């Protein structure tokens, strides 16, 4: 236990670069203590820690302190899906709002979106589209631009790849329906750029929470032990010259949901979570959560009917059977519900007589 505590403490060495409180009192009024000085003092005097353990702790602390700007590639979670598809689910809500869940922004995403939104027979007439980028990853920024290009009618710069501008193509068959993009803290890398381009071009609005802040041009450097160190060498620059912040992309409409609840809603949008603080207070009246996913309308009685039922016993009125039909399931996922409300409202505005 002592050794573990020492290693955990030494890992804080890297935090010196992050400007946070260090393990050793700061005697230098101009900033943090010198890293090499602190490292050498600990190396010479700490008990029960080998050179290899000290080195590993210092590396981990340094990498962790720099957050999204530096990453050991071997620390990234492996993709166990076994599928090359970038889209894991498509669905319809309210009958005419398409929902596309994107697992990874990679080559081929533009084709998958086009196949859903622009079928050859032209039968799909959607009033809105939800692009769910929550928990989405990927580092193919050209694929992000290609996917966003589907929604842009005119030629314009979407982002800069190095010094080269990546532009949309002028087209007559652009997807011109209201789009809501869902993001959260696990939306990382190319999905952040995709969402940012959609907002910059006016193609969609972003809903959810601040993203991971990992939209950066990175370069990998091999290490002696076989691992690779990925270092962010420059930010992703948008077509208007702004950069995607390393602090994350802020949504246009913030919908806060705690992480545990969001995972459950992501798995089942109709799930009822027996908690009072799940973000449902932000929903409109059309999506207020009930006690069950399928509510049943109860028939109404006037005073005379109540007296008669008490005397003669209950009777079944065939006309009341319509009132006993179950209602449609209610979407309890706060972020998705907010997006559906938004798209339904925009559809009404778009089709309102001028």
Burial (Cβ within 10 Å: 0-12, 13-18, ≥19) of residue 168: buried
Q: From CA 347, how far away is CA 354, in angstroms rounded?
A: 14
Residue 353, number of CB atoms within 10 A of its CB: 3
Contacts of 353 (CB under 8 A, 6+ apart): none
* Cβ proximity of 90 and 116 under 8 Å: yes
Q: What are the chain's domains?
A: 2-65 (no CATH), 87-263 (3.90.226.10), 271-351 (no CATH)
Q: Which of 339, 256, 336, 327 is nearest to 292 (CA)?
A: 327
The dihedrals phi and psi of 274, each to the nearest 5 degrees, come to -80, 65
Do residues 17 and 65 make contact, with C-beta atoms less than 8 angstroms apart? Answer: yes
Query: What phi, psi does 325 have (nearest 5°)?
Result: -70, 135
Residue 235, helix vs strand vs coil:
strand
Contacts 24+ apart (CB under 8 A), 33-40: 38/13, 39/13
Biggest alpha carbon–alpha carbon distance for the chain: 95
Q: pLDDT tens digits for the chain (354 residues)?
A: 434 444 444 444 444 333 333 433 444 445 678 888 988 998 899 898 898 898 888 888 888 888 777 878 775 554 444 445 687 888 999 889 999 999 999 999 999 999 998 875 566 689 999 999 999 999 999 999 999 999 999 999 999 988 899 999 999 999 999 999 999 999 999 999 999 999 999 999 999 999 999 999 888 899 888 888 888 888 899 999 999 998 999 999 999 999 999 999 999 999 998 865 544 434 443 443 333 444 545 555 566 665 566 666 655 554 555 555 567 789 999 999 999 999 999 988 776 665
């Amino acid at each position: 236990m002592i050794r573990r505590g020492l290693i955990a403490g030494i890992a804080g060495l890297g935090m010196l670069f992050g400007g946070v409180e260090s393990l050793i009192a700061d005697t230098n009024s101009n900033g943090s203590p010198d890293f090499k000085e602190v490292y050498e003092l600990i190396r010479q005097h700490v008990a029960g820690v080998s050179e290899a353990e000290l080195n590993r702790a210092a590396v981990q602390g340094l990498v962790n302190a720099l957050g999204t700007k530096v990453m050991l590639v071997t620390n990234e979670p492996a993709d166990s899906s076994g599928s090359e598809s970038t889209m894991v689910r498509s669905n319809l809500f309210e009958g005419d709002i398409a929902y596309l869940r994107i697992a990874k922004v990679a080559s081929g995403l533009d084709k998958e979106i086009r196949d859903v939104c622009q079928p050859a027979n032209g039968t799909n007439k959607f009033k809105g589209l939800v692009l769910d980028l929550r928990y989405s990853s990927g580092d193919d920024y050209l694929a992000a631009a290609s996917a966003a290009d589907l929604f842009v009618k005119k030629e314009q710069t979407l982002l800069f790849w190095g010094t080269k501008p990546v532009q949309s193509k002028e087209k007559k068959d652009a997807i011109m329906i209201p789009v809501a993009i869902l993001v959260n803290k696990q939306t990382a890398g190319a999905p952040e750029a995709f969402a940012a381009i959609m907002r910059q071009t006016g193609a969609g609005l972003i809903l959810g929470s601040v993203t991971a802040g990992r939209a950066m041009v990175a370069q990998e450097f091999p290490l002696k032990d076989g691992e690779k160190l990925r270092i962010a060498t420059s930010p992703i620059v948008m077509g208007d010259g702004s950069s995607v912040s390393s602090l994350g992309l802020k949504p246009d409409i913030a919908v806060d949901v705690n992480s545990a609840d969001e995972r459950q809603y992501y798995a089942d949008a109709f799930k009822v979570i027996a908690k009072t603080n799940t973000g449902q207070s932000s929903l409109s009246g059309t999506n207020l959560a009930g006690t069950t996913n399928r509510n049943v309308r109860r028939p109404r009685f006037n005073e005379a009917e109540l007296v008669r039922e008490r005397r003669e016993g209950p009777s079944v009125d065939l006309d009341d059977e319509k009132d006993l039909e179950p209602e449609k399931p209610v979407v309890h996922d706060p972020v998705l519900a907010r997006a559906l409300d938004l798209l339904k409202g925009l559809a009404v505005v778009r089709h309102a007589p001028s």
